[in-house]
Amino acid sequence: MAIEQAFNSSIDYYDNWMKKALPNYSDIFKTAQEIIPFTSDNPINVLDLGAGTGLFSKHILERYPHAHFILYDLADKMLDVAKERFKSYPKQFEYIIGDYRNFQISSQFDLVISSLSIHHLTDNEKSNLFHTIYSKLRSPGLFMNIDQIRADTHYLRKLYWDHWLKQVRQQELLENQIQDSINRRETYDQDALMSDQLQWLSEAGFVNVDCIYKNYFVGVFHAMKE
């Protein structure tokens, strides 16, 4: 099954799943909101890569009500959910169905965001994408990536995994939803070490590169273009 089909098949429960299955969901997105350097009345241009149902863009919109967004994703049905979510903002949102590994957009952006998507790429594709994102940012600009992190050792990887399974089962999520997530992870995920991700961002030209927040296998990555 193609990755877009796998995610399209989860639209009925995806948002609820994310809020319950992502470790410290509220803290992660609160942190993301807090570290954006622009004033809240600024009509910034935002590119959301792997936007899915628009959850990350929703949190950005809460702080930047005048922002303009382009949501980019392979999964058309996921974007349909986003379109419904933002139907009250027809002039502020655009949607592109496509593979962002090869995206060609003439616009420049103040903020590029991505949430739990880039880990599906190979390491070389991640590095290349970071270079492309850098070229599409204005100066100053910010790239913020909420994504999975591969632990350095087998012991830590098992620790992360066992913690996650315990958490989702305590949330009383349906077992078939848990299994769907496990299947997607085993089939499509290509997590990278935190040190590698930070290095690729720096090599792309970004400064003030850091993993601002980390909870087990999920981190909030911060990278600026001066």
pLDDT value for 58: 97
Q: What is the pLDDT of residues 27-78, one digit of tens each?
A: 999 999 999 999 999 999 999 999 999 999 999 999 999 999 999 999 999 9
* CB-based burial, 113-122: b 16+ in 10 Å, e otherwise: bbbbbbbbbe
Q: What is the mean pLDDT of residues 81-105?
A: 94
Judge whether residue 199 has pLDDT over 80. Answer: yes
pLDDT value for 3: 83
Contact 46, 109 (CB under 8 A): yes
pLDDT value for 1: 66
Q: Under 8 Å CB-to-CB from 93, ≥6 apart: which residues? A: 57, 68, 69, 70, 71, 82, 83, 86
Q: What is the pLDDT of residues 35-49, one digit of tens each?
A: 999 999 999 999 999
Dihedrals φ, ψ of 94, to 5°? -125, 155
Q: How confident is the model at residue 122 (pLDDT cuts 50, 70, 90)?
A: very high
- What's the predicted TM-score (pTM) here? 0.94
Q: Position of tokens 């350097």?
A: 37
